[in-house]
Chains A and B, each alone.
Chain A
Amino acid sequence: MNKVKQLINKSMVAALLSVASLTAFAQVELKTEMYKVIEVQKDNGTSKIEWVTPDNITPGDKVGYRIMVENKGDKAADDIVLNNPVPENTIYVNGSARGANSSIVFSVDQGKTFATPEKLFIEKNGKKLPATAKDYSNVRWVLTSSLKVGEQSSVQYVVQVK
């Protein structure tokens, strides 16, 4: 009995070690930053969008999330997929998701399936309707190139507080 326990313990340690060694090879770190997205009026009558420190967020305000990804390991990381659920009490702002070298897809079913906007549908009163930005539950960025050692990349999107 004791031997069995010891065996299990040993195998668990081994499993933990193997994960640790893998992450040591290619440790991709993720960091999310948030900003208040405001429209600043310029003297010439036009306006520009600025991302500023998020103070005093109230309903109707826009919040921008920037997700930084960095390869701190010693091997290239392939097939990088970034996921972000649209937070509760917010709605995704149409067209706000950006990301270099990435294809951006969305989910309307809490992340079970993803597709590009024109292929997303919702059901309302038994009818199949094209999904709109407010239906999106998750945003996904599929990076089209691998992240080399020491390389950084970032993606972003904007939500509006309900």
Chain B
Amino acid sequence: MNKLISWTSVFLASLFAMQSYGAGTGAGTSISNTASVSYEVGGATITANSDPVTITVQELINVTIISQDSGNVSVSSPETGAELKFQVTNTGNGNEAFIINQVNIGGDEFDVTPSTIYLDDGDGVYEPGTDDVAYDNSAPSTIAPDASITIWVTSDIPDSLNNNDTSEVQVSALSKTFSDDSQTNPDAGDVVSGAGDSSTDAVYGSAAANADDTAIFVVSAIQVTIVKAISSITDQFGTSQPVPGAEVVYTLTVTVTGTGDAESVTATDPLPNELLLKDGVAGIITVDGVDLTAVSGDDIATYDANTNTVTVVLGTVTAGSADSIISFTTEIQ
């Protein structure tokens, strides 16, 4: 069954690829065609051309908007400014700006109050008000053909919700050209004359007519967070330069807030190639002040030399209990 599904998706993917032209030929491009003929009369060869026929490629407005959250997004009740991540891609052949709309989908346990939309600064990290600026729906920035932006759509979550209550949110993108023409729900094939790039007509594409995606908030009475920090750097010269051979001590802090128990909590830290656990599988991983061996199977702490990953299985953690502090020493290669 799994195999059948994967084959089907491969087939669909290839169909889609056949019909996809990326941004395609730019709006305003002329396509000219001249036919020629050669023929013989009485042994003489004569040639002639047709008059050229020319078409100008019009602006096809197309856009996709795709949720970037994997699975449901956990929120508290209440919570201010809970964020959903979306990618908006201009799949048309001209420059276009898009208005982002957020609506509640019915049939679930609660509705959210739409709040600010932020434009990611390019690092994919949510930094409202600092690196990420508010997305201005009254004057959205133009996106070039084939270019993408990442946006953070934020919502306020109401008070007094139950654990596992869900709210489905739909986020859509509308062409500014069509919005400016008072067309708020255009169909594929609808046109705004002369409003495209290079004074072409703006033609609404089928992707634009279906440019929406949904994401689901789920109320989770329990929240697990992990924070990684460098505790110290010690080099072989007695100073603290991060040079090859220096030892870097990392601390992971796992915090469980809310109410109830978080089950099967596991902290995983895949180290970069430039860092290895000191002494490898013979090394030490300290959990809440107790030194544990890095070798697999004898305790909750493990270092896998093949994947260069530190794993600590914390198991069931009750919300509000003391933070779990994991620390280990690495060597810069």
Contact = CB atoms under 8 A, between A and B. Distances in A.
Interface in B18-49: 19, 21, 23-25, 29, 31-42, 44-46, 48-49
Contacts of A54: 55
Given A32-B50, A59-B25, A162-B24, A26 B31 contact: no
B51 A58 contact: no
B31 A59 contact: no
B59 interface: yes
Contact of A78 (B31, B41, B53, B58): B41
A41 interface: no
Given A83-B36, A161-B31, A63 B50 contact: no
A57 B58 contact: yes
A28 B37 contact: yes
B284 interface: no
The dominant DSSP class at the A interface is strand
A57 B59 CA distance: 9
Interface in A14-38: 22-23, 25-26, 28-34
Given A32-B50, A58-B203, A65 B40 contact: no
Contacts of B38: 79-81, 83
A22 B201 CA distance: 46
A30 B33 CA distance: 13
B60 interface: yes
Given A58-B59, A59-B57, A161-B24, A82 B35 contact: yes
- A-B complex: 7 closest residue pairs judged by Cβ atoms: A59-B24, A58-B60, A26-B41, A30-B50, A77-B39, A32-B50, A89-B25
14 contacts: A22-B44, A25-B42, A30-B50, A32-B35, A32-B51, A32-B53, A34-B55, A58-B24, A69-B37, A75-B41, A81-B37, A83-B36, A87-B32, A87-B33
Interface of A: 22-23, 25-26, 28-34, 54, 56-60, 63, 65, 67, 69, 73, 75-85, 87-90, 147, 161-162
